[in-house]
Amino acid sequence: MHRDAHGLEVTVASGAAVQAFDHALAGYLSYRADMPQRMTALLEADPEFGLAHCLKGYLTMLAYKQAAVPIAAVAAADAARLTAQATPRERAHVAALRRWIDGEPDRAADIWEQILAEHPRDILAFRLAHFINFWLGRPEVMLASVHRVERHWGEELPGYGAILGCRCFAHEECGHYTEAEAAGRAAIDRDPGDLWAAHGVAHVLEMQGRRGEGIAWIDSLRGNWDEANNLRHHLWWHAAMFRLERGEMDRVLALYDGEFRNLNSRLTEALPDLYIDVQNAASMLFRLQRHGVDVGNRWEELADRAEARIGDCLSAFTLPHWMMALVATGRHEAAHRMLEAMRAFTQNPGLTATLVARYALPICEAVLAHGRGEFVRAVEAMHPVLGGMYRLGGSHAQQDVLEQLYLDSAMQAGLHDDARLLLERVAGRHPLPPQRRIGYAAAARAVGL
């Protein structure tokens, strides 16, 4: 029996295949853009390696794209066949993949946590659980997972930086900013190219209003991202968020065009509709327009991609962003088709369909109403879900655009009590008062906060 770099038994034909697996796993943990090449090398090293096929399925599902699900299903079937005589841990991974494919990411996360209870050094199970729990709005579960496994890790183990990065982000989303920043900076000391840790510290600086430090932080690390995947776009989005708060709108647009929505970059050309890139772009354009910035025709290409993805509801948090693009370009007929497709999707079993029904659908209705100038209707659609929309996932910084949607609707409708409700909710969670945040300051003054 062979063992991987973390000492876990793997059912594989050769040591060379184990090394290829470790190389692929390291690429996943470090957000490398060459994952297709790493996976090709892995499957060539041992085409009968069941866990490798499972990893292929996982990576396919990470795209949150309906068209990719059949590819993941084939990988899961191959993995199931090839792990029939493998270790229970490997077979559990296949079971988790199947749950995810079936629209039950919560059940997949439960299986990964079961794996970790017996194998706390299974960094693949750990990182996937962290990812899924983030997109289910479960920061406290993310942090509990870190606490359970970290005592079994040490600096000598490959992948330890991923533990630190996840510790950073979990603490940040739970509001523990001192602990978060310490963990993130420790990870960067180990590896200046650690995107997840860089991202976690950027969130801390965002939440604490340390805008100059945030800009300097990203500028100091940018030289380490040449081999990184699209997560680097999200870091540039953070840089634009810092600039936005300082009122540097021209710099925000320059970052939009040159960094996080550069349509000519190889990463964007390869994945032009990747969910996180769409979220970055749409949320920034929405914010800019709130402040009277002319964004030109930048919405058009997003709206084209939104129309092509109507009916694809795998990323519930992305749906309001697709809707923003349709509404901003006046494509109301397409927006209604999108709502109907979402309603049809809610008839499916599984948690994803439930989240779309309870939260994404009314928020998308609010986006459409807001765009049509029906501000009272937007408030009415969104008010019942304010307390639960965190379950769509996304960080506090990302959820902020939905809060601004509600606030703007309430202010435009003259519903100052509703605006005050939103401001008080945000002030209760965010360490900065609304008066120090560009998207909230005017409303706070208007309602007397």
Mean pLDDT of 424-435: 93
- Count of domains for the chain: 1
Contact present, 398 and 279 (Cβ < 8 Å)? yes
Residues 406-422: what's their mean pLDDT?
98
* In a domain? residue 247: no
The answer as to whether 439 is a domain residue is: yes
- For 142-166, write each residue's pLDDT tens digit: 999 999 999 999 999 999 999 999 9
Judge contact between 168 and 187, C-beta under 8 A. yes
- Write the single-letter amino acid at 122: D
Task: Please determine, for residue 248, whether its predicted confidence score (pLDDT) is greater than 90.
Answer: yes
* pLDDT score of 255: 98
Write out the two tokens for 357.
Answer: 């029904």
Q: Across all residues in the chain, what is the average pLDDT?
A: 97
Does position 51 have pLDDT exceeding 90, yes or no? yes
Report pLDDT for 55: 98
Q: Cα–Cα distance between 168 and 143 in angstroms, integer?
A: 9
| DSSP-assigned beta bridge partners for residue 3 | 9
Q: What is the DSSP letter of 272?
A: T
Tokens matching residue 212: 């100059």
CB 402 within 8 A of CB 365: no
CB-count burial class (<10 Å; 0-12, 13-18, 19+) for 182: middle
pLDDT of residue 28: 98
pLDDT at 1: 78
Residue 397 has phi, psi (to 5 degrees) of -65, -35
Band the pLDDT of 388: cuts 50, 70, 90.
Answer: very high
| pLDDT band with cut points at 50, 70 and 90 for residue 292 | very high
Number of other residues whose CB lies within 10 A of the CB of residue 156: 6
The maximal CA–CA distance of the chain, rounded, in angstroms, is: 69
Q: Identify the domain containing residue 391 by its residue range.
A: 273-449
4 vs 110: CA distance, rounded Å: 23
pLDDT of residue 23: 98
| 280 Cβ contact partners less than 8 Å away, ≥ 6 residues apart | 233, 234, 237, 260, 261
Report yes or no on 376 lying in a domain: yes
In a domain, 362, yes or no: yes
448: left (phi over 0), alpha (psi -120 to 50) or beta: left
Residue type, 411: M
Joined tokens for residue 44: 């060539």
pTM: 0.97
Write out pLDDT tens, residues 67-92.
999 999 999 999 999 999 999 999 99
> Residue 20's closest CA among 35, 1, 9?
35
Cβ pair 29, 127 in contact under 8 A: yes
> Per-residue pLDDT for 97 more than 90?
yes
Percent of the chain with pLDDT over 90: 99
Per residue in 298-341, pLDDT (tens digit) is: 999 999 999 999 999 999 999 999 999 999 999 999 999 999 99
Hey, is 9 helix, strand or coil? strand
pLDDT at 399 over 90: yes
- Please report which confidence band the pLDDT of residue 65 belongs to, taking 50, 70 and 90 as the band edges: very high
Per-residue confidence (pLDDT) for residue 411, from 0 to 100:
98
Element holding 2 (H helix, E strand):
strand 2-3
Is the predicted pLDDT of residue 123 greater than 90, yes or no? yes
Contact 143, 171 (CB under 8 A): yes
Spatial distance between the Cα atoms of 179 and 170, rounded to a whole number of angstroms? 10
Indicate whether 449 pLDDT > 90.
no
In this structure, is residue 1 part of a structural domain?
no
Distances (CA, A) of 440 to 312, 384, 403, 424: 32, 21, 10, 11
**Residue partners of 160: CB distance under 8 A and separation at least 6:** 153, 154, 190
Beta partners for residue 10, in sequence order:
2
pLDDT at 199: 98
For 57-101, give the DSSP string. Answer: HHHHHTT--GGGHHHHHHHHHHHHHHTTTS-HHHHHHHHHHHHHH
Please indicate, yes or no, if residue 184 is contained in any of the structural domains. Answer: no
Residue 260 has pLDDT above 90, yes or no: yes
Mean pLDDT to the nearest integer, 103-122: 98
CA distances for 427 relative to 67, 190, 290, 444, angstroms: 40, 35, 20, 10
CATH of the domain at 322: 1.25.40
CB 341 within 8 A of CB 330: no
Q: How far apart are CA 405 and CA 375, in angstroms?
A: 10
Q: Does residue 279 have a pLDDT over 90?
A: yes
Q: Nearest Cα to 137, choosing from 424, 355, 358, 379?
A: 355
pLDDT digits (tens, 9 = 90+) for 173-227: 999 999 999 999 999 999 999 999 999 999 999 999 999 999 999 999 999 999 9
